[in-house]
A and B are shown apart, each in its own frame.
Chain A
């Protein structure tokens, strides 16, 4: 039986505004507990919320970057539930009129790019933090929960995808793409490890071709892109195995346990949640008119989708365009400046995303941005094209440039990596090798093609790898009388 996976991803993004969503307390991490609190974010009696305009502009930017429509009118709702870290015991969130709707994000896995729909993006406030502790020295029930409300009220954007993701790899790619978009907009640090971006997955499976959806399971607690992929894959496998052994999937929330590599059922709450949503009476509606929307659109940086289009139009294939677009800003800048210096787009892209990135990621050198300029890389590519250096020698030349030895041409000369392209020099070397291998030419003439490789290898050895292998090849053939 073959199976189809139906996966949706919910993302929570903490915005990096100066102040909280509904009050003027600082958004700041690592401070002493309960030092960034006020009546509003503490839920004191009589407190009232007032929305942070910059936060609203951030979510509009996120929505536009995800190709969403910004709703002309939107309201906040109260989502009512009791929990110790939720000071008002309701969260100001959005229900049926979110700020952004109907967007999409292109997601690439390998060579395949698909479009994943985005249901909505809405604005809400974060909760406080609870820490469970055991208090030593007490006789009965030695534990309690400590509450810090510094995080309470931090602006949170929730982005919900449509259930159109089809594999664990795609789920990861979606998450990574989304993260790039948000980070690039500059509206959030969007760091998974720090919790400024959080992912939950909704996973179900169904027999291929079946229209009816399978039972959905929510998976939480994935703290890296890798664990997201692993968790989703585990859950898919678990559900398939369960169904295949005549079990049924329970609708529930499961926690990913990174160490054990499994999802575990969480303690289910009594009854399902009835959030009793109603429009927030302490706030007035929001009108996002065209003028405001366009003003924000004008501030957006080039979006990944547009950039990929631009790269493809300039001659890159889709896969490379996606990889390059997903690379960090310094990498892309290097590529752009290399091309600006006249280098061929494909070569530039290959070098930038390949050898250059590999070296910079290893941390060869102190100030990465200054180590290699577009002009230098263009020169390197030019040297290869002209046959001045071989492509393998070019890697050594690159090392030299990155170590500060100078421009590619200088490095090639000083490291004696210049390719020998002088025909007469090559003929000389070839003749020497032929002299040492008198039968070789005969074997070649009688059709033993392998001998060609051997002879070329000999010439390369004799010339310390500096001979242009193409030319060597040609000369040997000429000697053989082709």
Chain B
């Protein structure tokens, strides 16, 4: 069962700037893997989807209390570019 893959679209969604030949290579590989993965459709019946936490946890919350934040210098030291307390990036277009 061949699977249709618009690999350029998928790569764009994932912000992976791959070359055309790379895209083609991955598309071929993905097609093979997806054929195998598509076997999930062999499942008989339609079980209730129960993918809850294995220990059936619910309502894991925290109280509304302030905890110490990170030291800004330590954080910005790892930034590729920082200035005056800000992270700096090339212009980000309107979302």
> A145 near B89 (CB under 8 angstroms)?
yes
Give the CA-CA distance A173 to B93 in the complex, in Å.
33
Is A42 an interface residue when CB atoms closer than 8 A count as contact? yes
List of B residues within 8 angstroms of A276 by Cβ: 13
Are B66 and A19 closer than 8 Å at their CB atoms?
yes
Q: Does B62 contact A (CB under 8 A)?
A: yes
Q: Are A287 and B59 closer than 8 Å at their CB atoms?
A: yes
Judge whether B92 and A39 touch: CB under 8 Å.
no
**Bound CA–CA A32/B72 (angstroms):** 10
CB-based contact A52/B75 at 8 Å: no
The docked-state distance in angstroms from the alpha carbon of A16 to that of B40 is 46
Complex contact A285–B64 (CB within 8 A): no
- Given contacts A53-B61, A54-B63, are A144 and B87 in contact (CB under 8 A)? no
The proximity string for A residues 254-270 relative to B, scoring 1 for CB distances below 8 Å and 0 otherwise, is 00000000000011011
Which chain A positions have C-beta within 8 A of B90? Answer: 141, 144-145
A280 to B31, CA, bound (A): 27
Question: In angstroms, how far is the closest chain A Cβ from the Cβ of B79?
Answer: 9
Interface residues of B in 50-65 (CB under 8 A from A): 51-53, 57-65
List the A side residues contacting B64 at CB < 8 Å: 17-19, 52-55
Contact B63–A53 (Cβ < 8 Å): yes
B contacts with A: majority SS:
loop
For residue A89, which residues in chain B have a CB less than 8 angstroms away from its CB? 15
Chain B residue nearest to A266 (CB atoms) is B94
CA gap between A124 and B60 in the complex, in Å: 16
Give chain B nearest CB distance to A53 CB in angstroms: 4
User: Measured between alpha carbons, how far is A19 from B75 in the docked complex, in Å?
Assistant: 20
> A37: which B residues are within 8 A, CB to CB?
69-70, 72, 75
Contact residues in B for A53 (Cβ distance below 8 Å): 61-64
The answer to whether B83 has its CB under 8 Å from any CB of chain A is yes
- Known contacts A146-B86, A285-B52, A18 near B92 by CB under 8 Å: no
Determine which of A23, A81, A82, A145 lies in contact with B88 in the assembled complex, contact meaning CB atoms within 8 Å.
A145
CA distance A269 to B60 in the complex (A): 37
Main secondary structure of the interface of A (DSSP, over half): loop
Q: CB < 8 Å: which of B67, B68, B72, B89 contacts A147? A: B89
Kindly supply a per-residue 1/0 record for chain A positions 1-37, scoring 1 wherever the CB is within 8 Å of any chain B CB and 0 otherwise: 0000000000000000111000111100000111111
A425 at the interface (CB under 8 A from B): no
| Contact assessment for A83 and B57 in the assembled complex, using a CB-CB cutoff below 8 Å | no
**Interface-central residue, B84, B87, B91, by most chain A CB under 10 Å:** B87
Which residues of chain A have C-beta atoms less than 8 A from B67's C-beta?
Answer: 19, 23-25, 38
A54 to B64, CA, bound (A): 6
Contact A267 B94 (CB under 8 A): yes
Q: How far is the CB of A104 from chain B (nearest CB, A)?
A: 28
CB distance from B73 to the nearest CB of A (A): 10
- A148 interface contact, C-beta 8 A: yes
Asked if residues B93 and A267 are in contact (CB atoms below 8 Å), the reply is yes
- Within the complex, the shortest CB–CB distance from B52 to chain A, in Å, comes to 7
Q: Which residue of chain B lies nearest to A22 when distances are taken between CB atoms in the complex?
A: B62
**Which A354-405 residues have C-beta < 8 A from chain B?**
none
Contact across chains for B62 and A24 when beta carbons are under 8 A apart: yes
Interface check A462, CB cutoff 8 A: no
Q: Does A283 sit at the interface, judged by CB under 8 A?
A: yes
Residues in chain B near residue A38, CB distance under 8 A:
67, 69-70
Q: Are B12 and A270 in contact (CB under 8 A)?
A: yes
User: Apart from A25-B67, A148-B87, A267-B94, what 17 extra A-B contacts exist at CB < 8 Å?
Assistant: A32-B85, A35-B85, A54-B63, A82-B15, A84-B89, A130-B92, A131-B86, A141-B90, A144-B90, A147-B86, A147-B87, A147-B89, A149-B87, A267-B93, A285-B58, A286-B58, A286-B59
5 A–B contact pairs at CB < 8 A? A19-B67, A146-B83, A148-B87, A269-B95, A279-B51
